[in-house]
């Protein structure tokens, strides 16, 4: 579907097939209603299922990958919300290729991934659930069954992939738990050998220049962020969708890039009454953002022809807590043979080599953020880092040894 065709796509309407009844466990946009898009990546072998997630209309795709097994059946990496629409699309594959045999939870920290595994597993009672080691919950650690994971068919991924029933088709590498203080971070990368496809969760992304198809189904978030002020009337055009998407990316990856000013509440409150649309869907007219000239360059630096990128928050707050451990994992993954990468967020599939993957983590070798990104855009994240360390909420970053 071209960008022009997406503009003419009608907005999503409420539907029982798209209802997500457990939205309150992670109350973020789109709340009760979740559209699902299925895309065939490798004919008859690999499919992605995309939904949306976000806060204050800063929406990005969240992605599940389904792989056909050689002996029949399906492996599911990082489940999404099992809405009626999602299950219908998946069951169409089940009817052709066999049951869901394995469900993989490839992270210990991503609540947006964890929250779906239990409900998803209950829809496929014959499937085994394999999870990343060292699962945890906040504020107290709860038994896995209390987190919704099914008793009797949930197993922890061993360090040796050949000890799993899918080890003859997949390699995987576990980034062992990085202790952050209040919690841990870990991820498991999977390689489907036959298709030379690498599956990752949050560790690597690529920023598409145009909004992904799932984001285009309902343009409200794009048009919301395309505005310069609350009173702007934004028409649904290609240019406005692009502008909204580019600003969303800057929000999502930096929280507050250097080109963005958050208006004072007094000014925001006064502007609220100039907004023609003060509906709930438009946040009652609230728009506390002011973009300075030149913000477009910040997106160009992020996109950079679709190169592989480690999200700034991972660079500043997470992976630099254990750089040697992370690089050891990266080097192990980079020894595999793959031609493309499917992450759980932003663009996919990404045409990339093991050398491209390794190069994205060079910032850990230098003990500094990505040199291809503006230092000024990291300021808020670095300030958050300093405050969290000062209050001993998280551990300080480390130099690579």
- pLDDT value at 262 more than 50: yes
- pLDDT value at 8 more than 60: no
Q: Which of 29, 17, 120, 110 is nearest to 66 (CA)?
A: 120
Q: Which of 240, 286, 245, 247 is nearest to 267 (CA)?
A: 286
Check if the beta carbon of residue 74 is closer than 8 Å to that of residue 98: yes
- pLDDT value at 400 more than 90: no
pLDDT tens for each residue of 13-45: 679 999 999 999 899 999 999 999 999 999 999
State the average pLDDT over residues 53-57: 96
Q: Which of 322, 319, 315 is nearest to 373 (CA)?
A: 315
pLDDT band at 181 (very low <50, low <70, confident <90, very high): confident
Check if the beta carbon of residue 188 is closer than 8 Å to that of residue 107: yes
Strands 74-77 and 100-105: parallel
State the average pLDDT over residues 205-214: 98
Predicted confidence at residue 139, as pLDDT, reads 66
d(CA 314, CA 305): 21
Predicted confidence at residue 12, as pLDDT, reads 46
Q: Which of 256, 311, 102 is nearest to 192 (CA)?
A: 102
Check if CATH label 3.60.15.10 holds for domain 3-207+311-359.
yes
Predicted confidence at residue 146, as pLDDT, reads 74
Predicted confidence at residue 13, as pLDDT, reads 61
Cα 304–Cα 361–Cα 116 angle in degrees, nearest 5: 90
pLDDT tens for each residue of 295-318: 999 999 999 999 999 999 999 999
Domain parsing of the chain, residue ranges: 3-207+311-359, 219-305
**φ, ψ at 145 (rounded to 5°):** -65, -30
The reported pTM is 0.94
- pLDDT value at 279 more than 70: yes
Which structure tokens are listed for 175?
A: 């980034």
Q: How far, CA to CA in Å, does 278 sit from each of 14, 32, 219, 284?
A: 21, 21, 17, 4
- CB 32: neighbour CB atoms within 10 A? 13
Write 347-350 long-range contacts (CB < 8 A, 24+).
347/205, 347/206, 347/207, 347/208, 347/212, 347/306, 348/41, 348/48, 348/61, 348/63, 348/206, 349/41, 349/48, 349/197, 350/206, 350/306, 350/308
Cα 145–Cα 149–Cα 153 angle in degrees, nearest 5: 100
d(CA 223, CA 236): 7
């Amino acid at each position: 579907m071209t960008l022009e065709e997406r503009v003419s796509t009608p907005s999503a309407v409420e539907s029982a097939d798209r209802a997500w009844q457990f939205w309150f466990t992670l109350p973020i946009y789109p709340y009760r209603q979740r559209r699902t898009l299925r895309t065939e990546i490798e004919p008859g072998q690999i499919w992605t299922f995309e939904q949306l997630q976000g806060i204050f209309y800063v929406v990005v795709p969240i992605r599940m990958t389904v792989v056909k097994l050689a002996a029949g059946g399906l492996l599911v990496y990082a489940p999404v919300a099992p809405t009626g629409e999602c299950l219908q699309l998946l069951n169409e594959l089940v009817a052709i290729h066999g049951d869901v045999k394995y469900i993989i939870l490839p992270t210990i920290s991503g609540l947006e991934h964890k929250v779906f595994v239990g409900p998803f597993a209950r829809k496929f009672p014959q499937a085994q659930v394999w999870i990343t080691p060292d699962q945890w919950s906040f504020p107290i650690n709860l038994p896995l069954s209390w987190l919704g994971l099914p008793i009797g068919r949930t197993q922890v991924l061993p360090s040796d992939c050949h000890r799993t029933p899918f080890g003859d088709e997949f390699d995987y590498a576990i980034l062992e738990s990085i202790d952050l203080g209040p919690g841990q971070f870990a991820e498991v990368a999977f390689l489907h050998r036959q298709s030379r496809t690498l599956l990752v969760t949050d560790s690597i992304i690529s920023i598409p220049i145009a909004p992904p198809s799932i984001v285009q189904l309902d343009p409200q978030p794009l048009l919301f962020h395309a505005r310069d002020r609350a009173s702007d009337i934004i028409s649904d055009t290609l240019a406005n969708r692009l502008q909204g998407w580019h600003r969303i990316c800057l929000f999502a990856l930096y929280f507050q890039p250097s080109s963005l000013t958050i208006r004072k509440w007094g000014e925001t409150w006064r502007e609220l009454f100039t907004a023609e649309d003060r509906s709930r869907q438009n946040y009652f007219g609230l728009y506390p953002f002011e973009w300075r000239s030149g913000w477009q360059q910040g997106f160009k630096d992020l996109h950079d022809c679709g190169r592989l990128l480690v999200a700034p928050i991972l660079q500043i707050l997470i992976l630099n807590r254990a750089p040697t451990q992370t690089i050891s994992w990266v080097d192990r993954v980079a020894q595999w043979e793959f031609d493309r990468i499917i992450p759980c967020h932003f663009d996919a599939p990404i045409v990339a080599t093991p050398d491209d993957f390794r190069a994205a983590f060079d910032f850990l070798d230098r003990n500094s953020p990505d040199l291809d990104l503006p230092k000024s855009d990291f300021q808020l994240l670095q300030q958050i880092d300093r405050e969290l360390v000062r209050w001993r909420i998280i551990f300080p970053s480390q130099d690579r040894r």
